[in-house]
Structure 1
Amino acid sequence: MSQTSPLRALRGRLLWFVADPRDVGEAAHRYVADGVLVIEGGVIRAVGPAEAILPTLPAGAEIIDHHPHLIMPGFIDAHLHMPQTQVIASYGAQLMDWLNRYTFVEEQRLAQQGHPEKLATFLLDELLANGTTTAVIYCSVHPQSAQALFAESERRNTRMIAGKVMMDRNAPEALTDTAQSSYADSKALIERWHGRGRQLYAITPRFVVTSTPEQMEAAGRLAAEHPDCHVQTHINENRAEIALANELYPEPGDYAGIYQHYGLLGPRSLLGHCIHMTDREWRRFAETGSVAVFCPTSNLFLGSGLFDWARARAEGVPVAVATDIGGGTSYSMLRTMSEAYKVLQLQGQSLSAFAALHAITLGNAKALKLDHLIGSLEPGHEADVVVLDAGAQRAMAHRLETARDLAEELFVLVTLGDERNVVATYVMGERTNPPSFSGGA
């Protein structure tokens, strides 16, 4: 063991996944009722039963006993908006009206000195308090918004994927860039931040409604020049949005075809919503390996529709799950999966607790092409970890008195859980300190 990297061992009930439960059933997860996770230099070095691991630890190793709590990989959120943390819970609009009435108004404030830093600090505080250690984040059109997010993430050593929004039409003048400036600003941010420490860049045309053909071409050029960057955008969220997209770009024949025409579909492309998909669009996604991002709380809140996860699986389309703050209504991936369960129930589909927890750990890691680094407790992975108390809330503890097995306990956690169930969050093996809150000013 290295003399310069402290060795830390977390003890508790360990749970992680090695495959999708919907494919292989119980063989998909690993559960150790009394386990130890050994961390050195921010990386998981060993994992297994306490009786086997503890005798191997050197004298002086720090052992933190979280038993009887659950220890899992940190949660992963595949789509959210940093500028919308003060837009969440805005009343009474569907997508296009909501953008114009609330979101675009709020996003203009990121031009103010210090405001991007304020939002970046708040967002990372809130994510970590909810056990989320990696997120895919839309910043605003202002380059300084992405700069602030990356700087704060680097300070905390979190693995984040983010990008400056590209948007040159159908938005307030104060929120528009140009095809040329968006290319140059994104290029500069990629060169500065992509692959620096744990930071990764996402090329971010907001959606086709707010980008001219020239800007879409610039986004595609960036994607071709930087194939290891992600692409993030929106598609098929709202019927009025779809009609406008196809009116602006009639030649490709459908919404997905627009992105494909500009080289923006591919295995690292993360497309939010995917609710009103045509047969041809599902095929385009499957052929290119593009990822459909399921945002259950925002789809319900904005009245957009129900995501068809069974159809995505049948078509072979990868799926990630996300909060979509601030159309989404919770930073908690547990609450997000509770709403996902209900969305699927309305369509005659099921979602077990194991499948839900896989989705927000290894499942999202695979969708982001980061499963070699995060989303697991297997040795060699980065030690981003969440500790959960399934009985932290009175109603949950009461219900758990009758739980018969792990599956029932986990279903209570997924159905009723939120940030109150998060006992601790570790980033690269270091425990984060959640900010104190004593009420509004």
Structure 2
Amino acid sequence: MDSGRLHAVRGEIVHFLADPAERGAAALEHFADGLLILRDGHVAECGPAAELLARLPPEAAVADRRGMLIMPGFIDTHVHYPQTDIIASHGEELLDWLTRYTFPAERRFEDPAHAAEVAGFFCDELLRNGTTTAMAFATVHAASVDALFEAARLRRMRLITGKVLMDRNCPDFLRDDAGLGVEASRRLIERWHGRDRLLYALTPRFAPTSTPAQMQAAGRLFAEHPGVYLQSHVAENRAEVDWVAQLYPAARSYLDVYEHYRQLGPRSIYAHCIWLDDADRARMAATGTAVSFCPTSNLFLGSGLFDLAAAQAHGLRVGLGTDVGGGTSFSMLATLNEAYKVLRLNGQDLSPEQAFYLATLGGARSLYLDGRIGNFSAGREADFVVLDPSATALLARRNATAATLVERLFLLMMLGDDRCVAETWVLGQAAWRRDAANP
């Protein structure tokens, strides 16, 4: 084994090679005493410690994390960094939430200093919760995009974001110009897309806040830049769906509006997707468009219950989103807790294997990044989280009675939160440590 810049982490390792909904138990790879060998920020090898330690050069450092669970870093496929300061604001449905809380909060991001301060806190909060990759909304201000990309770059995180496009049905202080907004997006693409681990997403907020002219221009720019992403919202709330039907009476459905403006396809990700029909799901699957399932915000705003079984039946790519600040936690463990409950209310089950798949490799696939992140296959970027299964007295007590890995994973998703994150590693180096944060 080439010893060049090798080091390793030892502990209980769990990751996914495929979707458990398709491959069952064979989708999960588990090493009760495993070794993750790292070289130059990437995974060199992963397997049983007894086997790999014997081949590891003696000078290679080994971080001993036995008693901890090592998993790929969590992937948040939909989150609003400007809404960090309005998380847990009381009592509105979606459209009222935007008017009362979101738009006033986003106005402050015209100040680059404010944007930079929030961006730094936001990225640190992601890392504290074990999230190493995020697809995030910024605001209409180019400075908000610059601030978030720079904060992520300094932390070596993989991050996707973009300037919000919004030129109608919003306050004057956030209203964009259809042409100028797209031109600003083009300049941001040139400045940031593909730099280090950063990727750009065209970001029409949602169909009601963009004129047909802006929607058309965004679709054209998406087609002109094949590696760029597009993110938006669709079918989150019944009143929203009705509003879109009034604004676009010729469209078959809400999703049809985006398809008309050439905004579906690979690297196009839509949050929520609650009030879709099977024709919509079929179009998303056929075009390679992905879904971000955002359970905590769907419950908090009373929007509805996502139908994971229907999404899976149509072969849709699905990831998980915290959707902060409509969502109530940055923690992917807390998000899995709520996802389980949403699906139970919808007459469905979320197994622990499927849950952690969605939080890792499923999220990577929804972002078309599974060749780079999402599991510990050789060559993947070495982003991972070290989880403490005894982080709280209750977890420790309950884990003492758990007989299987699946039981222990279920306990983590139902009783776990940010306290379970002992460390978060980015590109093979520790980026956050609980002990360092709480000396």
Per the normalisation by structure 1, the TM-score is 0.97
**Residues 248-259 of structure 1: matches in 2 within 5 Å?**
248-259=247-258
CA-CA distance at 1:55 after TM superposition: 2.2
Q: Does 1:373 find its partner at 2:357? A: no
SS of alignment partner, residue 170 of structure 1:
coil
Structure 2: state its 5+ residue gaps. Answer: none
SS of alignment partner, residue 379 of structure 2:
coil
SS of alignment partner, residue 406 of structure 2:
helix
CA-CA distance at 1:386 after TM superposition: 0.4
User: Could you tell me which residue of structure 2 aligns to residue 212 of structure 1?
Assistant: 211
CA-CA distance at 1:58 after TM superposition: 2.0
Contact 2:204 2:218 in 1 (8 A): yes
Count of residues paired in the alignment: 437
Q: Does 1:155 find its partner at 2:143? A: no
**Residues 14-25 of structure 1: matches in 2 within 5 Å?**
14-25=13-24
1:284-333 alpha-carbon deviations (Å, 9 max, x no partner) = 21221211211000000000000001111112222111100110001011
Structure 1: state its 5+ residue gaps. Answer: none
User: Could you tell me which residue of structure 1 aligns to residue 93 of structure 2?
Assistant: 94
Q: For 2:344 and 2:196, how far apart are their aligned partners in 1? A: 41
Q: Does 1:178 find its partner at 2:177? A: yes
1:166-209 alpha-carbon deviations (Å, 9 max, x no partner) = 11111111111111111111111111111111101111000011
Contact 1:16 1:73 in 2 (8 A): yes
Q: Does 1:82 find its partner at 2:81? A: yes
CA-CA distance at 1:2 after TM superposition: 7.4
| Counterpart code for 1:244 | W
Q: Which moved more, 1:340-349 or 1:247-256?
A: 247-256
User: Could you tell me which residue of structure 1 aligns to residue 390 of structure 2?
Assistant: 391
Q: For 2:50 and 2:266, how far apart are their aligned partners in 1? A: 42
Contact 1:285 1:291 in 2 (8 A): yes
| Counterpart code for 2:422 | V
Q: Does 1:308 find its partner at 2:299? A: no
Q: Which runs of 4+ in 1 moved over 6 A?
A: 435-438
User: Could you tell me which residue of structure 2 aligns to residue 348 of structure 1?
Assistant: 347
Contact 2:46 2:377 in 1 (8 A): yes
Contact 1:88 1:327 in 2 (8 A): yes
Contact 2:317 2:362 in 1 (8 A): no
| Counterpart code for 2:134 | A
**Residues 93-242 of structure 1: matches in 2 within 5 Å?**
93-242=92-241
Percent identity for Structure 1 against Structure 2: 51
CA-CA distance at 1:280 after TM superposition: 2.5
CA-CA distance at 1:242 after TM superposition: 1.1
User: Could you tell me which residue of structure 2 aligns to residue 408 of structure 1?
Assistant: 407
Q: Does 1:432 find its partner at 2:431? A: yes
User: Could you tell me which residue of structure 2 aligns to residue 284 of structure 1?
Assistant: 283
SS of alignment partner, residue 39 of structure 1:
strand
SS of alignment partner, residue 433 of structure 1:
strand
User: Could you tell me which residue of structure 2 aligns to residue 30 of structure 1?
Assistant: 29
Per the normalisation by structure 2, the TM-score is 0.97
CA-CA distance at 1:253 after TM superposition: 2.0
CA-CA distance at 1:437 after TM superposition: 7.2
Q: Which moved more, 1:265-274 or 1:281-290?
A: 281-290
Contact 1:8 1:63 in 2 (8 A): yes
Q: Does 1:10 find its partner at 2:9? A: yes
**Aligned-pair Cα RMSD in Å:** 1.4
Q: Does 1:46 find its partner at 2:45? A: yes
| Counterpart code for 1:290 | T
SS of alignment partner, residue 237 of structure 1:
coil
